[in-house]
Amino acid sequence: AQTVTQSQPEMSVQEAETVTLSCTYDTSESDYYLFWYKQPPSRQMILVIRQEAYKQQNATENRFSVNFQKAAKSFSLKISDSQLGDAAMYFCAYGNILTGGGNKLTFGTGTQLKVEL
Protein backbone atom coordinates (compact mmCIF):
# COMPACT_ATOMS: atom_id res chain seq x y z
CA ALA A 1 0.00 0.00 0.00
CA GLN A 2 1.12 3.48 -0.75
CA THR A 3 1.97 5.87 2.08
CA VAL A 4 2.48 9.61 2.09
CA THR A 5 4.51 11.37 4.78
CA GLN A 6 4.46 15.06 5.60
CA SER A 7 6.98 15.59 8.38
CA GLN A 8 6.17 19.25 9.07
CA PRO A 9 2.92 19.60 11.03
CA GLU A 10 3.25 23.41 11.02
CA MET A 11 5.21 25.97 9.04
CA SER A 12 5.34 29.76 9.23
CA VAL A 13 6.38 32.26 6.57
CA GLN A 14 6.54 36.01 6.38
CA GLU A 15 4.38 37.69 3.78
CA ALA A 16 6.22 38.01 0.43
CA GLU A 17 8.79 35.38 1.45
CA THR A 18 9.25 31.85 0.10
CA VAL A 19 8.41 28.64 1.91
CA THR A 20 8.90 24.97 1.03
CA LEU A 21 6.64 22.18 2.27
CA SER A 22 8.04 18.67 2.27
CA CYS A 23 6.42 15.42 1.20
CA THR A 24 7.76 11.92 0.71
CA TYR A 25 5.87 8.86 -0.48
CA ASP A 26 6.35 5.18 -0.81
CA THR A 27 5.25 3.16 -3.82
CA SER A 28 6.31 0.30 -6.03
CA GLU A 29 4.35 1.66 -8.99
CA SER A 30 5.96 3.44 -11.91
CA ASP A 31 2.86 5.23 -13.19
CA TYR A 32 1.13 7.58 -10.80
CA TYR A 33 0.25 11.19 -10.11
CA LEU A 34 1.11 13.52 -7.27
CA PHE A 35 -0.97 16.42 -6.05
CA TRP A 36 -0.86 19.25 -3.55
CA TYR A 37 -4.23 20.28 -2.18
CA LYS A 38 -5.02 23.27 0.00
CA GLN A 39 -7.75 23.14 2.65
CA PRO A 40 -8.61 26.55 4.14
CA PRO A 41 -10.76 26.86 7.27
CA SER A 42 -13.84 26.78 5.03
CA ARG A 43 -12.95 23.07 4.59
CA GLN A 44 -13.26 22.96 0.78
CA MET A 45 -10.23 21.17 -0.65
CA ILE A 46 -8.70 23.01 -3.61
CA LEU A 47 -6.11 21.65 -6.02
CA VAL A 48 -2.89 23.68 -5.98
CA ILE A 49 -0.71 21.76 -8.41
CA ARG A 50 -0.30 18.29 -9.94
CA GLN A 51 2.65 16.31 -11.30
CA GLU A 52 2.65 13.29 -13.58
CA ALA A 53 5.30 10.79 -12.53
CA TYR A 54 6.41 10.15 -16.11
CA LYS A 55 7.26 13.82 -16.61
CA GLN A 56 10.74 14.88 -15.55
CA GLN A 57 9.92 18.57 -15.73
CA ASN A 58 8.71 20.03 -12.46
CA ALA A 59 5.19 21.46 -12.53
CA THR A 60 4.65 25.19 -12.01
CA GLU A 61 1.46 27.16 -11.42
CA ASN A 62 2.08 30.88 -10.97
CA ARG A 63 3.66 31.26 -7.48
CA PHE A 64 3.53 27.53 -6.79
CA SER A 65 6.12 25.07 -8.00
CA VAL A 66 7.23 21.58 -7.08
CA ASN A 67 10.53 19.79 -6.76
CA PHE A 68 9.80 16.24 -7.89
CA GLN A 69 12.56 13.73 -7.23
CA LYS A 70 11.22 10.38 -8.46
CA ALA A 71 14.15 8.24 -7.37
CA ALA A 72 14.06 9.74 -3.88
CA LYS A 73 10.24 9.61 -3.84
CA SER A 74 10.13 13.23 -2.79
CA PHE A 75 7.61 15.87 -3.85
CA SER A 76 8.02 19.26 -2.18
CA LEU A 77 5.92 22.37 -2.76
CA LYS A 78 7.50 25.81 -3.00
CA ILE A 79 5.33 28.87 -2.50
CA SER A 80 6.93 32.12 -3.64
CA ASP A 81 5.85 35.63 -2.67
CA SER A 82 3.61 34.24 0.08
CA GLN A 83 0.30 35.98 0.61
CA LEU A 84 -2.10 36.05 3.55
CA GLY A 85 -4.56 34.03 1.50
CA ASP A 86 -2.07 31.17 1.30
CA ALA A 87 -2.65 30.37 4.98
CA ALA A 88 -4.28 26.94 5.08
CA MET A 89 -3.68 23.24 5.64
CA TYR A 90 -1.72 21.77 2.75
CA PHE A 91 -2.05 18.10 1.88
CA CYS A 92 0.25 16.12 -0.32
CA ALA A 93 -1.60 13.34 -2.14
CA TYR A 94 -0.54 10.32 -4.16
CA GLY A 95 -2.87 9.24 -6.93
CA ASN A 96 -2.68 5.64 -8.00
CA ILE A 97 -4.68 4.22 -10.81
CA LEU A 98 -7.52 1.92 -9.82
CA THR A 99 -7.98 -1.37 -11.68
CA GLY A 100 -10.97 0.04 -13.51
CA GLY A 101 -9.24 3.33 -14.21
CA GLY A 102 -9.70 6.45 -12.17
CA ASN A 103 -7.64 7.83 -9.37
CA LYS A 104 -7.58 6.86 -5.72
CA LEU A 105 -5.93 9.57 -3.63
CA THR A 106 -3.81 8.74 -0.59
CA PHE A 107 -3.20 11.82 1.54
CA GLY A 108 -0.53 12.78 4.01
CA THR A 109 -1.40 14.20 7.42
CA GLY A 110 -1.03 17.77 6.26
CA THR A 111 1.10 20.84 6.99
CA GLN A 112 -0.57 23.88 8.56
CA LEU A 113 0.89 26.97 6.91
CA LYS A 114 0.72 30.30 8.75
CA VAL A 115 1.49 33.52 6.93
CA GLU A 116 2.66 36.42 9.09
CA LEU A 117 2.73 40.12 8.33
Partner 1 sequence: ETGVTQSPTHLIKTRGQQVTLRCSSQSGHNTVSWYQQALGQGPQFIFQYYREEENGRGNFPPRFSGLQFPNYSSELNVNALELDDSALYLCASSPGLAGAYEQFFGPGTRLTVL
Site residues, partner 1 (CB under 8 A) = 4, 31-33, 35, 37, 42-47, 50, 52, 91, 93, 95, 97-110
| Least Å from the CB of residue 14 to partner 1 | 26
* 64/107 with CB nearer partner 1: 107
* 110/113 with CB nearer partner 1: 110
Single out the residue of 7, 4, 113 nearest to residue 64, CA to CA: 113
* 104/116 with CB nearer partner 1: 104
Contacts of residue 6, defined as CB under 8 A and 6 or more positions apart, other chains included, come to 21, 22, 23, 91, 92, 108, 109, 110, 111
| Least Å from the CB of residue 15 to partner 1 | 26
